[in-house]
Amino acid sequence: MNIESEITGVILAGGQARRMGGKDKGLVMLNGKPMIEIVINIFKPQTTKLLINANRNHVRYSQYGLELVADELSGFCGPLAGMASALKITKTEYMVTAPCDSPFIPRDLVLRLANSLKSKGVEISVAHDGERIQPVFCMIKKTLLQSLSDYLAAGERKIDHWFKKHDFAIADFSDKPDTFDNINTHDDVENALLKLKSYEKYN
């Protein structure tokens, strides 16, 4: 089976953005566009279907014509809650996630995640920037839904800890660590604007 052609992509946009005063980060403007639009443009061509996981502003997010899914767990329990809700409605064999606050998302994210997962013969692969894993950039097989639901139902929230319960593959992105730069503060927005100008260099 060709894994890359059977992928549901999920943009995680369900956070509180406390470091940005509680704004909905996916809708924060960068270079004249809401950040989520920049991510959609790079991520969508890598997927069969793209979903947006958001807990606020569904009317505004609906303008992109993509299916929306909110966290089933209330109270902003973290990205794993978004992953679980998205995996539940995923119809393809694999799901790939990326955050809404990473406008430099790699153009070969799905390809590298799929290759590492296939070559290790496992059900999860996670991006690695050369220094550390980037857990919100990952590929998860649909078969892990029960494990993920059970983990959250037990009150657990830590992504890395859940990954470690399974054998997972590492997808190497050490040649482009800057693609994982994410926007958490207003200063990050300014810095990203400068970087966007030399974007091709990074990606």
Ligand X SMILES: Nc1nc2c(ncn2[C@@H]2O[C@H](COP(=O)(O)OP(=O)(O)OP(=O)(O)O)[C@@H](O)[C@H]2O)c(=O)[nH]1
Q: Are 109 and 137 in contact (CB under 8 A)?
A: yes
Task: Give the binding-site size for ligand X (rule: CB under 6 A).
Answer: 23
Q: Are 123 and 144 in contact (CB under 8 A)?
A: yes
Output 16 or 182, the one with its CB closest to Mg ion.
182
Rule CB under 6 A: say whether 152 interacts with ligand X: no
Rule CB under 5 A: say whether 182 interacts with Mg ion: yes
Rule CB under 6 A: say whether 132 interacts with ligand X: no
Residues 45-84 that bind ligand X (CB under 6 A): 53, 71, 76-79, 81-82
The angle at the Cα of 51, spanning 185 to 200, to the nearest 5 degrees, equals 55
Binding mask 183-202 for Mg ion (x = CB under 5 A): -x------------------
d(CA 67, CA 11): 11
* Burial degree of 175 (CB within 10 A; 0-12, 13-18, 19+): exposed
| Residue 82 interacts with which of Mg ion, ligand X, none, CB < 5 to 8 Å by class | ligand X
Q: Give the C-alpha distances (Å, rounded to integers) separating 76 from 13, 56, 124.
A: 11, 11, 24
Rule CB under 5 A: say whether 101 interacts with Mg ion: yes
User: Which stretches of the chain bind ligand X, using CB under 6 A?
Assistant: 12-19, 25, 53, 71, 76-79, 81-82, 99-101, 136, 182, 184
